[in-house]
Chains A and B, each alone.
Chain A
Amino acid sequence: MILPPAIRKAALVAHVVSSVGWLGTVVVFLVLAVAGVTSDDEPTVRAAYLATDLAATYAVVPFAFAAVATGLVQSLGTHWGLVRHYWVVVKLVVSIAALAVLLLQLDSIRLLGAAAARGPLAPGDLATARASLVLHAAGGVVVLLVPTVLSVYRPRGLTRYGRRPAAA
């Protein structure tokens, strides 16, 4: 079903805002995660992990779901379709993979947030989880640039489904 132009524009605005919001919140998350690993100031470390927990729960995850949902609306509600163009398919796969990794990271994020809420964190405490946050957030920033670039450049290429005649 092709959306009317006015709704299509509004949906596009929602998709751009949520997608850029997702990338932006992950950048902030990365800054906090790096501060948690590198800072010598104990209150800063605790604040960083309390903030990553809050940021993930109330910003990163909502933006991520919104970006994927509005992307689906954009695909299905326009002539682009969901599986007609390779760039749309790749963008969808990358976004869903990034969302899945984010959801799998929530355990570590919550663990660190709870530990920071309980009391001081020494430099070696939960070192693997802390390193994991940095690694996955950095990877997330790189991965989320892919959908952004694809949306702007829209590289050529029709899938087998997209090459079929419209009436088929």
Chain B
Amino acid sequence: MIIKHYALAAALCVSGGYAWGQQSVSDNGDDQLAQLEQRISGLESRLQQDRLGWLDNVNLNGFMTYGVIRHNVHQDLNNGDPVTYRNRTTDEISHQELSQVGLQLDATLNDRSRMVVQMLARGRDNYDLQAQWAYIDYQLTPTVQVRGGRLRLPFFMHSQYSNVGYTYHWVSLPGEAYDVVPFDTMDGADISWNVNTGPVSHRLNVYAASMDVLSLALPVPVVYEVRDMYGINLQSTWRDWSTWASYTNPKVTLDLTPVGAPQLSLDESRAYVSSVGFQYDDGRLMVMGERSQLGINGWFPTKWGGYLSTGYRFGAWMPHLTWAAANAKGLRDAAEDGPMGQAFFNGNAVRQKSWTLGMRYDPLPNIAFKGEVKYLYNFSNDDAPNSNGLFDPQQAVDGGRINRSDPMVFSLAVDVAF
């Protein structure tokens, strides 16, 4: 898994150059020359050892996904653009949407500190580099770890490794639960405490951070300024079982002047994000479930999403089945803000259910092939009348509906990690 990089050639070059400089003084006889050569070879080996010792403390890991995805809703929006699923996928095959590559450098600085940087390049961002993790890690005690810098959001059970497809069975995590907060990273600090109570292992994590979240759910892109965000999460593991619970309490500011609705702007509105989940995996049978929720005071809908998933491994093959749902509440509260409030509610309200049937195939270590078909249904109810689910919330603002009764999303991917 870990590749240690020994830049032997570089070490030799540097030590060789150093040795060459020393050699210029050695023209006073054979004995002196021999002595110097001995010293040089000693220095060379010391330099090599120093360099190897330094590089020995650096781990390089990486992961990559190449995938294709498309849906079957062959319809245009009112403005002529194609209907999208999760804001990006269309009815044409995309080679970019799922594809991404990440590299992680983990340097041990001393007995207690590490520096970790993970850079991610997504196909959908034209492979522009983004820092997903960039932090200094200080081991306060053998069980308490403090980190500061850029961290991935720990909102949901799989959030912190959602970009590493190799770590889970789906091609992509259920959007119903994970798009509740469509954002990955925060800037701040956290403390993690690892403790075992008898046979049960726990990891308690507390953090303070802030972030800016770009949203495309309204007619004009807007930025949610998330500040004073404090959160806590607990993961407990016993044999083949593990449970997850998290709660986060930020303040959210949103300026809606650019959308022409300054009266609906959010000014340090109290919000919360929560999630509970469980996983069972005995090596053959896998079952997991999770429920996530987001609420912001004001016209913003209270959104929740969840899924139940199971799979069974037959050797290298693992067929799996997932049921997922997303819903939104609070239309009546939003209606108090007039038609605009109601429209903004609809823009953010997502309601849908889905069945996902997939297969993961692990023929060799560190590579997995995956395929998935997702069938979506049950889009609207009284609380979310114009929802098209994760198909274009913007169109809901326009009052349109997708016209297909069996909308499906198809995806194939190959995931690697080292």
Q: Do A and B come from one complex?
A: no
